[in-house]
Amino acid sequence: MGLPRPRPGRNDLVQLHSLTTTTTDPHERGSLIGSRFGGQVRRTAELYLGHFAALGIGPSRARAVAERSHRALRAWSPGLAAESDACADAAGIERWKVAAVGARTEILAACPPAGAGECSTAVFAPAGAVPETVQTWTGTSRSCRTRCCTTSRPDPDAP
């Protein structure tokens, strides 16, 4: 059974944006994402902050959790933190707001369970190989209907 085809006038389907790059520099990759998808980055952050607020998590609490999570990310993977910061800078949004999207699970943990879940993520990061991730989304009526898939291929001839 295939995926349903979009019907004219329907705006509830997810739109997938993609970016493929050969850069291995996290700052450059983040700048590319923020430059190309700045509107989507800003809108996604706005929607998540609104979602958090609807669940009783105000902006100061969301910011505190996002900044703490971002510090932990920087300690664990400086490149990912640099990519996030560069994306925010290029998109023209405060860095903590992009960090809040990345730390959405940690922020959601700050409120009582509200029913349906957010998402499930799996990461495969073998030593000496390119990590791979997959994420499934449960979604809510308030969730953003756009997604961005980025692929970094240092070797442009790699599959």
pLDDT digits (tens, 9 = 90+) for 123-146: 667 788 777 665 555 455 445 555
Pick 41 or 159 by higher pLDDT: 41
**With contact defined as beta carbons under 8 Å apart, do 111 and 3 qualify?**
no
Whether the pLDDT of residue 27 is over 50: the answer is yes
**With contact defined as beta carbons under 8 Å apart, do 11 and 144 qualify?**
no
- Put residue 137 in one of left, alpha, beta given phi > 0 → left and psi -120 to 50 → alpha: beta
CA distance 77 to 91: 22
Mean pLDDT confidence for 77-92: 96
CA distance 81 to 71: 8
**What local confidence, expressed as pLDDT, does residue 1 receive?**
37
DSSP strand pairing (146-152 vs 15-21): parallel
Residue 157 to residues 22, 26, 68, 132: CA-CA distances in angstroms? 10, 20, 39, 18
**What local confidence, expressed as pLDDT, does residue 61 receive?**
93
**What local confidence, expressed as pLDDT, does residue 118 receive?**
54
Q: How confident is the model at residue 148 (pLDDT cuts 50, 70, 90)?
A: low
Mean pLDDT for the chain overall: 79
Mean pLDDT confidence for 42-47: 92
User: What beta strand segments (E) does the chain contain?
Assistant: 15-21, 119-124, 132-137, 146-152
